[in-house]
Structure formats: structure tokens, C-alpha cells
Amino acid sequence: MTYTSNTIQLLTPQYWKDYELIDCGDFEKLERFGDLLLIRPEPQAVWPKTLPESEWIKKHHIRFKGRSATSGDWLKKSHKIADRWHISYKNPEISIKFRLGLTAFKHVGIFPEQAVNWDYISSTIKSFQIPRPKVLNLFAYTGGASLVAQAAGADTTHVDSIKQVVTWANENQELSGLKDIRWVVEDALKFVKRELKRGNKYNGIILDPPAYGHGPKGEKWKLEDHISEMMNDVVQLLDPKEHFLILNTYSLGFSSVIVENLIKGAFPQVRNLETGELYLQATTGNKLPLGVFGKFRS
């Protein structure tokens, strides 16, 4: 069997104005979201910081301090600093907005490196001949990819197992001046299997699965145990003529070669396959790796 050639890439976002990775090191990162500078834990930043600690302390507005491996507290320099604020993202095809917030799990509601995938989504949808392509976003979190797909002209279905983050995604839809995204609170694998039985097809499928997770009824998700089954199912939902698929993983044990093997195993006829690593380029020079991806389009 002969596969089309695979391009292995290192990719970082190009169009961010409201986000900046200033520095990273010593298991932390100093980031700007809009006008606010945050210090958050970063397990991949095993090298020393470029800027002295005194500069980090001087520059930041909010710092996350962990109480356990999974939760912690936000320490603000001033009580006047809001817990919620807005930022925007714009590329040549779309413009969207996000509501950010300080959660107990060090997250703020967005993964900035995913802008690379957003650009791929918007440009691909714009290139399709079909007037309103159908896009399915699985493990969709607060909806960055869903917003992009909808803004680019797709009929978008957003699936996540946590009701609160789907509500958050709906807030982002309203902020972005969009409407009619289909919201589904359900276990992603169960939803896919139901769509197969219904005979539904999609022109685009986006998967951003966690290493571990739970469905709304206690369903267990473990990436290495379930991703092969998921991939074998989702490729059957792809429209045979015009389609794209993105698989993004954060698991420290996953490489781009694993992602390549998963995609080729599930979809032997794949064309235009690209795999690689997403990273954020710090202003001070270091590259912060933040997951691996595989993507292809017809």
C-alpha cells in the first residue's frame, strides 16, 4: 500500500495580537492575554527562565499558585483586577471574541497555540465548493474551533461532556456576533457512534481530546485506550468528496509519529497529511511545545 507523502512541521500562531508568550522556564510561563499578564504553571518548561525572576514579579498582574496537582488559587496584585475579561482573534478569513476567566484549574478558557488549527479550519472551509459545509467539533471546550468554523460559513456542531464549558462557549458565540451553533452535552464517543447509526456525514471533523476525561454519565475517557476506536469511527463520518480532519493531542507520551500511524491506520486513503508539533514562540526566544497534531484535507 502506498501513502501520500507526509509533511512533518513545527507550527506556531501567526496572527495573535491579544496574546503573547513573554517568557517561559522553571516550570512556569509568563503570558499576556489582552492587557493582563499572567504567570501560570507549565510542566514542559524544564529549562531556566530567560528573564530574571524580579522581572516576572514586576511585570505580572496575576499569578496561579497550586494547592494540589489539579487545583490552586489566583493571586492578584490588586483587588481591582477583574476575574473575567475579553480578548479577540482575527486572521484573514474570520474575527472572533472570547470571554476569559480565572478557573480553579489554572486554565483561563483558551489554548492560544490552537490558533494554528483555527487558521487551517477557516482557510479550508473557505476553499470548499459546497456552500455550507458541516463541521463537527469533538471535545470542543469553550469553542474556539467552533466559532472559527461558524464564522467561516460552516454549519457547526459542538460536542463537550461538561455543561458549564458549553455554556461558556455559547457566551463566546454571542460575543463574536455569531448564532446557530448546535450545542451538544454528551460523551464524544457515544455521540459519534449515534451519528454513524444515523448515517450522518461531515465535511470537517476536529478532535482535541484530553489525556483523561469523563462523560456526563460517568463515562471514562483515556486517550491511549480509546483514541484508536474514536479515529476508526470518525473517519466514517467524513464526506467522501470534500473533507478535512484535525487531531490534536496534549499527552506527553504522544508523538507526531503516533498521530500519523493513527490517522493512516484509520484512513488508509488519506491525502495531504500533515503532522507535527504545535509550539508558542516566547518573545525572549524559547519555543514552548504544546502538543502534537495530524491534519488532512481532500
Is the CB of residue 189 less than 8 Å from the CB of residue 223?
no
Over its length of 298 residues, how does the chain's per-residue pLDDT go in tens digits? 334 446 679 999 999 999 999 999 999 999 999 999 999 999 999 999 999 999 999 999 999 998 876 789 999 999 999 999 999 999 999 999 999 999 998 999 999 999 999 999 999 999 999 999 999 999 999 999 999 999 999 999 999 999 999 999 999 999 999 999 999 999 999 999 999 999 999 999 999 998 878 888 888 888 889 999 999 999 999 999 999 999 999 866 789 999 999 999 999 999 999 999 999 999 999 999 999 999 999 9
* Exposure class string for 182-212: b at 16+ Cβ within 10 A, else e: ebbbbbbbebbeebeeeeeebbbbbbbbeee
CA distance 244 to 5: 17
CA distance 144 to 7: 25
HSE-up (13 A, CA, CB side) for residue 215: 15
pTM of the complete model beyond 0.85: yes
The single residue listed with the C-alpha cell 481530546 is 209
Architecture per CATH, 7-297: 3-Layer(aba) Sandwich (3.40)
CA distance 200 to 240: 12
